[in-house]
Structure 1
Amino acid sequence: MNKLFFNLVTKRIVATLSALLVIAIGCGAGVWQLSRANTKIALAANLQARQQMPILSANAGPWTLEEVSERRMIARGQYIPEAAVWLDNRPRPIPPAGSAIAQSGFYLMMPLRLEGKDEVLWVNRGWAPRNNENRETLPPVHTLNKVVNVEGIVFAHPGKVFELGSGKITADINKPRIEQNFDLVAEGKAHSWAQSPFILRELEVGTEDGLLRDWAPLTSGVDRHYAYAFQWFALAFAGFLFWLLSGLRQYKRQELTNGD
């Protein structure tokens, strides 16, 4: 046994170190993918628990982000459609059945002037597909010109995508515009109005406005993390197996040579 260990390890230092490196990388990456999956599951469970708490009223504020984050909230007010921001390069939250490729489109961010308060609340009203023939053409969306009730979930921001440049607001803020990302603080400064320190992601409540709100659950992607973890662990096992079998093959050849 000592002789076998000597031939597998001591006489194959480079191969052993290479195998250990592959095993370490594979196991480390696999554990990291599992931790990502567990984190998503925990976040989803926390979100579900917070959504079961009593529904808050935006008009009863002021509220801080810490007080209302991931809570259900109802806001009553009137939209300001001329200040809308269309967030580009946003895939459809849940692709249609049978489609493996997510369709690209926009999130519509629109300020809602709260009734009875000198305050604005930004609402992520939903997703709309992009015009593939003309990227500058905005999707048709119906906005009621009256006071409405909006129900949704509170978040810090609508999500971010990679963006080149500073992301400063350079377009006319008095008409709808297309942006890559949404900066809540910058919007407040640009419009010089008081606003809530969070956004409201609208829930589907039967409104026929041309927007989709089939938001993907926070657990989306968990299966992918498990698949990646399996691949990394398989790579680590394959590295160990290759090191072991190649060493045993070399050991047997040496034994046969010595026997001759």
Structure 2
Amino acid sequence: MSGFRRPSWWALLLTAAGALLFIRLGIWQLHRADFKEALLRRYAASSSAPQQDFAKVAAAPPADSFPRVQVSGHYLADRLYLLDNPKHDGRGGVEVFAPFVLRDQPPLLLVDLGFLPGNGNGKTPQLPPLPATETRLRGLYVPPPPVGFEMGGDALARQTRWPKNAIFLDPAEIARDLGRPLYPRMLALDADPASIYVRVHTLDFSSMPPARHRAYAFQWFTFALAAVVILLVVHRKRKPRES
């Protein structure tokens, strides 16, 4: 260390605190990446998992799993909601959601019917009619789509006719719109070859996938290394200038 000056205590303290903070943030990002990858694996395995009793998971679903359930009831067929920003293909289209009334249960269950492809002209696709009689549904009990900022506030409240369109579907806004409470999760229906809907469900981590968490972790670790390098550069002895 003869080529370096002795740093002051506050320079050492500041560098150590910054480096430890950056390392801690990097480790947290790695943990988030591992957590999301584990959720994706559980979600993929849920499609072939044994069926569970809906009554046992309805109000308090497990945070880290996606139960396969079966429910009976009827649709509110004239109260459809269209999510207008799914990224299934380049032709546009909508993800269609319908409220479902369960037997003797006041909360409504929001059902993800699937993605209805568009024809490339920007218009809403023609929605097939839903059955008006009692129906039995099977699928995964999953969290609702992520909610983001929408200009103008509640878009559903400003619309007077169904189906209603939104770029984000907030369960709280849907509950207010329907005047009835919703279950905390929704039902993503099983794939059906006879259905016009495309049902390829996955967890939406598009804004922050596991790979991006790892990229941020690398960035934080780089900052920690940079803090140490800056300390060394600042305290490096300089050769005296020749007169």
Q: Report the TM-score when normalising by structure 1.
A: 0.66
Pairwise CA distance, 1:86: 0.9
1:241 counterpart letter in structure 2: V
1:56 counterpart letter in structure 2: Q
Distance in structure 1 (CA, Å) of the matches to 2:163 and 2:239: 75
| CA 1:67–1:89: 2 relative to 1, 3 Å | closer
SS of the aligned residue for 2:185 comes to strand
1:66 counterpart letter in structure 2: A
Give unmatched runs, 5+ long, in structure 1: 97-101
- Which has a greater percent of helix? 1
2:7 counterpart letter in structure 1: V
- Kindly indicate whether the alpha-carbon contact (under 8 Å) linking 2:190 and 2:199 is maintained by their aligned counterparts in 1: no
Distance in structure 2 (CA, Å) of the matches to 1:191 and 1:228: 41
Identity of aligned residues (%): 21
Aligned residue for 1:230?
218
1:208 equivalent in alignment to 2:195: yes
- Kindly indicate whether the alpha-carbon contact (under 8 Å) linking 1:44 and 1:217 is maintained by their aligned counterparts in 2: no
Distance in structure 1 (CA, Å) of the matches to 2:229 and 2:182: 60
Distance in structure 2 (CA, Å) of the matches to 1:158 and 1:185: 12
| CA 1:175–1:168: 2 relative to 1, 3 Å | closer
Q: Report the TM-score when normalising by structure 2.
A: 0.70
Aligned residue for 1:66?
60
Deviation sequence 1:140-183 (CA, Å, 0-9, x none): 34345365443222135332122234426424565201024334
| CA 1:53–1:245: 2 relative to 1, 3 Å | same
Alignment coverage as a number of residue pairs: 238
- Indicate the RMSD between aligned Cα atoms, in angstroms: 4.2
The equivalences for 1:159-178 within 5 A come to 159-167=146-154, 169-172=156-159, 175-178=162-165
- Kindly indicate whether the alpha-carbon contact (under 8 Å) linking 1:44 and 1:218 is maintained by their aligned counterparts in 2: no
Give unmatched runs, 5+ long, in structure 2: none
Distance in structure 2 (CA, Å) of the matches to 1:46 and 1:192: 34
Pairwise CA distance, 1:29: 3.2
Q: Which moved more, 1:70-79 or 1:188-197?
A: 188-197
1:204 counterpart letter in structure 2: A
Distance in structure 2 (CA, Å) of the matches to 1:245 and 1:63: 58
1:152 equivalent in alignment to 2:139: yes
Distance in structure 2 (CA, Å) of the matches to 1:139 and 1:193: 28
SS of the aligned residue for 1:232 comes to helix
- Kindly indicate whether the alpha-carbon contact (under 8 Å) linking 2:145 and 2:204 is maintained by their aligned counterparts in 1: no
Aligned residue for 1:9?
7
Query: Which of 128, 132, 138 is 2:124 aligned to?
Result: 138
Deviation sequence 1:214-257 (CA, Å, 0-9, x none): 42477982122112211221232234234425643xx1524xx5
- Kindly indicate whether the alpha-carbon contact (under 8 Å) linking 1:204 and 1:214 is maintained by their aligned counterparts in 2: no
- Kindly indicate whether the alpha-carbon contact (under 8 Å) linking 2:91 and 2:119 is maintained by their aligned counterparts in 1: no
1:238 counterpart letter in structure 2: A
Aligned residue for 1:87?
83
- Kindly indicate whether the alpha-carbon contact (under 8 Å) linking 2:112 and 2:186 is maintained by their aligned counterparts in 1: yes
